[in-house]
Amino acid sequence: MPAVELAALPTSAAPFSRVRVTGHFDPAYQIYLDNRLRQGQPGYHVIVPLAYPGGVVLVNRGWLAAASDRAIRPDAPLTSAPVTLEGLLVPAQSRYLELSEQGVAGPVWQSLSLARYREWHQAKQRGDLPDRMLLQTSPAVDGLARDWPRPDSGVERHLGYAVQWFAMTAAIFALYLYYGIWRRFHAPT
């Protein structure tokens, strides 16, 4: 389906809607979500707010490989010029188990807590961040990978489990027929 302008999309739009938006990135609020794997290699997801006429939306710009020395901070430069992005609109929450909030100091975060990000962002900005995020799919010359998993990923595994359980049920039924009925009537006397 063609992309729809984000400003024209209702807030109740279906997840994974294709959207287009033009605006300015806010580099002061760019964060890096740590421990994101891509093809077995560790890295970061780069999250930044984009201000557009009519609102603000968080943008997941893509995946950035981690340096071999974890002391080196990640860097994904932003342009100050207006950008036009296309992407998929998804729910913005991606919280994982955190044992402490020590990983939140600075631009590298362990997970995205939307409430915490809103509190940090609204300390200096006006306007509320919506509960949705744009997964950028449009190409850019920034070195970030944008091969997002399909929302239906993993269905094959569930199908495999279903086949396994039906096969086990059929085996139990066959054993019941053999031991419970067949042998009872055909046992040597």
- pLDDT of amino acid 185: 79
- Is 68 exposed, middle or buried, given 0-12, 13-18 or 19+ CB atoms closer than 10 A? exposed
C-alpha span between 114 and 122 (Å, rounded): 12
Phi, then psi, of 9 in degrees rounded to 5: -85, 135
Count: domains in the chain:
2
Q: Most confidently modeled of 4-8, 24-28, 101-105, 158-162?
A: 24-28
Does residue 64 have a pLDDT over 60?
yes
- Residue 36 and residue 82 in one domain: yes
Instruction: Answer whether residue 182 is part of any domain.
Output: yes
Backbone phi, then psi, for 48, in 5-degree steps? -150, 145
pTM above 0.85, yes or no: no
Would 141 be classed as within a structural domain?
Answer: no
Region 72-79 average pLDDT: 88
The answer to the question of residue 144 being in a domain is no
Check whether 127 has a pLDDT greater than 60. Answer: no
pLDDT tens digits, 83-104: 999 999 888 865 555 555 554 5
Residue 164 lies in a domain: yes
Are 168 and 107 part of one and the same domain?
no
Domain assignment of residue 149, yes or no: no
Burial of 85 (0-12, 13-18, 19+ CB in 10 A): buried
Residue 107 within any structural domain of the chain: yes
Average pLDDT for residues 1-15, to the nearest whole number? 78
pLDDT for 102 equals 56
* Domain with 177 in it: 154-189
Q: For 146-186, what is each residue's pLDDT tens digit? A: 988 776 656 777 788 888 999 999 999 999 998 888 777 77
- 95 with 13, same domain: the answer is yes
